Amino acid sequence: MGTREWLAKVAPQTQPRLVDGKWQRPLLGAIARSQIIKKALAAGVVELEPTRPYIPVFKGHKHERLAPIREATIAEKMKAMPERMREHREARRNARRNLKQQEREKKGLPPYIYD
């Protein structure tokens, strides 16, 4: 007989019950139930059923859990970094040129020719 079947027979004695509109305490408490199970296991009346394999769960800080994902994202972005830096520098250079050109136009000077 497995532990689940055996516990199904013992379970009613471990639950509070309603008698004549009043709740009565269980016949067996949790400690008594565990002691009975231990004795039944030792005597061989009950067999332990196989349990689920233990799967470790990572318990830690969120930044530790997400670190590999973050590192992969950073590595991916670093591959495109030279191109992005070139685009940024070119955009800044064009913005400076446009600003100087507008200042020259305000002063009435001819446009400056960049090579």
pTM exceeding the 0.75 threshold for the entire prediction: no
The number of beta carbons lying within 10 Å of the beta carbon of residue 2 is: 12
In this predicted structure, the answer to whether residue 103 has a pLDDT above a threshold of 70 is yes
The number of beta carbons lying within 10 Å of the beta carbon of residue 46 is: 21
Please state, in angstroms and rounded to a whole number, the distance separating the CA atoms of residues 86 and 28.
Answer: 77
Mean pLDDT of 21-29: 90
Cα-based distances in Å from 92 to 67, 99, 101: 33, 11, 14
13, 40, 38: which is closest to 28 by C-alpha?
13
